[in-house]
Amino acid sequence: MNEFGANLVAMVTPMQPDGSISPDGLAGLVDHLLATGCDGLVVGGTTGESPTLTEPEAAGLVRSVVARAGNRARVIAGVGTYDTAASVRRAREAEAAGADALLVVCPYYARPTQAGVVAHCRAVADATDLPVMLYDVPARAGIAMTAATLTELAAHPRIRAVKDAKGDLFEAMTVLTRTSLAYYCGIDKLNLPYLACGAAGLVSVVGNVAADRTADLITAVRRGDLESARAIHGSLQPLVEAIMRPGPGATTAKAALAELGIIPHATVRLPLVEAPERQQLVEALATIAA
């Protein structure tokens, strides 16, 4: 296992009907993910509803997941916000809570310049001794990390990976040739193309309910069996569509997990609301159970 893992899942944060974090739901979800082949648990990321988590809640989640997972998977803590000082605090708290690595999103809402993005990411990376995975997600952040920015940040000794939710394969391949950054696909519908282009692994939302399939996909690509990889990727398409197209992924992934009985409730915090229609999810889940 490398410092991040390969088959990473962007975990939801299980909650009680009153919106409080569910310890039993969290323990059950961690057990499920480990049993289905996940070797990296991303805690408190976008799918984990990070904007609504208080700093004590975020650190508590890391402690709970680390305690449950033991040494069976890497625990990557989402610590990025639009506020550099808050991100630095969260990074230090995650390190104290036992995280193995950090996920740092491109600062959202503020729309800083690329120089600001570089300064922000370096400040967070300087705050701890943990390896850092950058999270490039322009659809949510409002800005992208350019290839030049990623190349510049790659010079930092603790910035070692990128979760790419931009979807620009040519740029990803360009950065891969220029740097030693490990790329992780953050768009489930593009898992196969990214792996085929040299990605080190996945950070999957769909993996909440199908980590065994994403593990098989990674294995097939690594052994050069593209025919099997295409078949696995194709078999996941109904589930990818049912979880990612209606979105947000936090709501639909929780609905799917609740349908399977892995978490007790599909509760999300406002401004998110529970997925109203589950028939497509139920049908997609039936395809992977067949």
Catalytic site positions: 135, 163
Query: CB under 8 Å to 46, separation ≥6 — which residues?
Result: 10, 78, 105, 137, 140, 249, 250
**172 and 194 in contact (C-beta within 8 Å)?**
yes
Q: Report how far residue 290's alpha carbon sits from residue 32's, in angstroms, rounded to the nearest whole number.
A: 19
Cα 79–chain centre separation: 12
Dihedral sign for Cα atoms in the order 242, 244, 247, 253 = positive
Residues 263 and 13: their CA atoms lie apart, in Å, by: 10
For residue 187, report the phi and psi dihedrals to the nearest 5 degrees: -130, 105
Phi, psi of 74 (to 5 degrees): -75, 145
Task: Identify any residues that bridge with 101 across adjacent strands, giving them in sequence order.
Answer: 76
Q: Based on C-alpha coordinates, what's the Rg of the chain?
A: 18
Q: Are strands 182-185 and 159-164 parallel, antiparallel or unpaired?
A: parallel
DSSP assigned state of 217: H
> What three-state secondary structure class fits 163?
strand
- Which sign does the torsion angle of CA 120, 122, 123, 124 carry? positive
